[in-house]
């Protein structure tokens, strides 16, 4: 191929050599003329190669054949970002998802002009060399951490139908959500194990003590048995909450269908928790409309939601001395909805903790939560129930002024 490209140079050189051999009276002028011809001939193949390369590039990047039109249309059907490449990592097409992720890439430009990932560029180069599909995991740190499964594959059938024009398909599958769920699952198992291990260790220790040094100590036995009962109760509450979460997850896709009137439901919750509120020296104030407030929901699950929110308000906002529970209409922007507000006047919650309150086992203050007999799962259960009811939990809190938890749920249409 190289000899073919240099054919004009070789021909000129042969003619110059023959002239030197045949003619005796060769002057310096003849020599310079021959060298000039060789230089001109040497330039011709370079231009020829450039022309051929440009023509090949246009053929690879142009929307010229029905096969290419089908390929590009198929890419648009993909939800994942997809880029069609020609040999040399030349971009010839990107679907809408790829444009949203990377921005528009000029057709015919090199992939590296927009993608700064040496690992992916090397992968593309390897696949172009041996035509074997490859997949790698790629993580982006900016602006936020996102995980992608990157796959580059030769489009063999397209090359056959397109008369030998090679294409490679580069796709990016977002794995961030599945990674996040895996991490949450791992954290959940670790946290659940820790929460169960602590009371179990306590029970084991007291049992050993009662079997040994405190075997005949009546006073120590009563004290230890009281603590053991408390730890067993903690384990029971934790297991009950774990089972509740499991049940809710199993039917998360099933929206409730029954009609529930919020007015008597909230009244029932207040009556249930009144004794606890009095023990904590907290006044429960309930403000509800006279007319019914029907919503679509599961009665027992909504009871669980408001018991959790009102109990938390009484326990953690105790020093405020009052908890207001109000059923009210939201702002005009939320027409067709109804708000149930649970407001305390306690210390409030630091703003950095508010977004994470509904995470499993998340506590603003671990020791305070445990002293209040909390499992760290209450608000996670509330979130799951409200999600099943297509409802929202809105949290407003100001340090030193208290916290407000608002359940916003759709009214049931008549």
Each residue of 103-138: pLDDT tens digit? 999 888 899 888 888 899 998 999 988 889 999 999
Is 336 exposed, middle or buried (CB count within 10 Å of its CB: 0-12, 13-18, 19+)? exposed
For the stretch 31-40, pLDDT in tens is: 566 666 656 6
Whole-number pLDDT of residue 302: 96
Between 245 and 191, whose confidence is greater?
245
The residue that leads in pLDDT, 359 or 52, is 359
**Is 345 found in the same domain as 406?**
yes
**Are 103 and 128 within one domain?**
yes
Among residues 14, 29, 60, which one ends one of the domains? 60
Which pLDDT belongs to residue 410?
93
Distance CA(286)–CA(128), nearest Å, equals: 71
d(CA 320, CA 378): 22
Most confident of 84-98, 176-190, 197-211: 84-98
- Greater pLDDT, 331 or 406: 406
Q: What is the DSSP string of 103-154?
A: ----TTSBGGGT---HHHHHHHHHHHHH---EEEEEEE-SSS-EEEEEEEEE
Please determine, for residue 273, whether its predicted confidence score (pLDDT) is greater than 80: yes
Dump pLDDT digits (tens) for 193-220.
777 777 788 888 888 888 888 788 888 8
pLDDT at res. 63: 45
Same domain assignment for residues 54 and 75: no
Shared domain check, 310 and 212: no
CA distance 200 to 228: 9
> How many structural domains does the chain have?
4
Q: Quick one: 285 and 407 in the same domain? A: yes
Q: How many CA atoms lie within 13 A of 68 on its CB side?
A: 19
Tokens of 136: 């790698």
Contacts of 122 (CB under 8 A, 6+ apart): none
| Strand order across the beta sheet in which 322-328 lies | 283-287, 322-328, 337-344, 402-410, 392-398
Q: Which domain holds residue 225?
A: 180-250
**What CATH number should be reported for the domain holding residue 212?**
1.10.287.130
- Indicate if the pLDDT at residue 19 is higher than 70: no
* pLDDT, tens digit (0-9, with 9 covering 90-100), for 42-59: 555 444 454 345 445 544
DSSP letter (8 states) at residue 304: H
């Amino acid at each position: 191929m190289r000899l073919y490209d240099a054919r004009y140079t070789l021909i000129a050189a042969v003619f110059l050599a023959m002239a030197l051999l045949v003619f005796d009276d060769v002057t310096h002028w003849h020599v310079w003329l021959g060298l000039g011809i060789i230089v001109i001939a040497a330039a011709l193949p370079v231009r020829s190669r450039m022309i051929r390369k440009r023509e090949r590039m246009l053929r690879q990047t142009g929307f010229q054949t029905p096969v290419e039109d089908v390929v590009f249309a198929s890419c648009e059907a993909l939800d994942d970002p997809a880029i069609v490449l020609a040999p040399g990592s030349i971009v010839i097409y990107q679907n809408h998802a790829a444009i949203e992720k990377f921005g528009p890439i000029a057709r015919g430009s090199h992939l590296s002009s927009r993608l700064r990932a040496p690992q992916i560029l090397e992968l593309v180069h390897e696949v172009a060399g041996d035509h074997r599909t490859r997949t790698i995991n790629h993580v982006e740190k900016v602006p936020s951490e996102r995980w992608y499964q990157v796959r580059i594959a030769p489009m063999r059938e397209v090359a056959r139908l397109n008369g030998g024009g090679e294409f490679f398909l580069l796709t990016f599958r977002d794995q961030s959500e599945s990674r996040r769920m895996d991490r949450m699952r791992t954290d959940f198992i670790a946290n659940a194990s820790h929460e169960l291990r602590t009371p179990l260790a306590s029970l084991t220790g007291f049992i050993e003590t009662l079997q040994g040094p405190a075997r005949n100590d009546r006073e120590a036995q009563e004290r230890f048995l009281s603590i053991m009962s408390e730890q067993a109760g903690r384990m029971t509450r934790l297991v009950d909450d774990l089972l509740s979460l499991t049940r809710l997850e199993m039917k998360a896709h099933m929206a409730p269908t029954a009609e529930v009137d919020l007015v008597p439901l909230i009244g029932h919750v207040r009556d249930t928790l009144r004794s606890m509120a009095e023990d904590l020296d907290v006044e429960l104030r309930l403000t509800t409309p006279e007319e019914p407030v029907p919503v679509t929901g599961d009665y027992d699950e909504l009871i669980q939601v408001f018991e959790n929110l009102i109990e938390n308000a009484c326990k953690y906002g105790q020093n405020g001395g009052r908890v207001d529970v109000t059923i009210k209409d939201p702002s005009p922007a939320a027409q067709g909805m109804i708000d149930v507000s649970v407001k305390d006047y306690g210390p409030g919650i630091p703003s950095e903790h508010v977004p994470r309150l509904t995470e499993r086992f998340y506590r603003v203050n671990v020791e305070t939560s445990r002293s209040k007999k909390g499992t760290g799962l209450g608000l996670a259960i509330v979130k799951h129930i409200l999600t099943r009811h297509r409802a929202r939990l809105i949290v407003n809190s100001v340090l030193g002024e208290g916290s407000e938890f608002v359940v916003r749920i759709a009214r049931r249409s008549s």
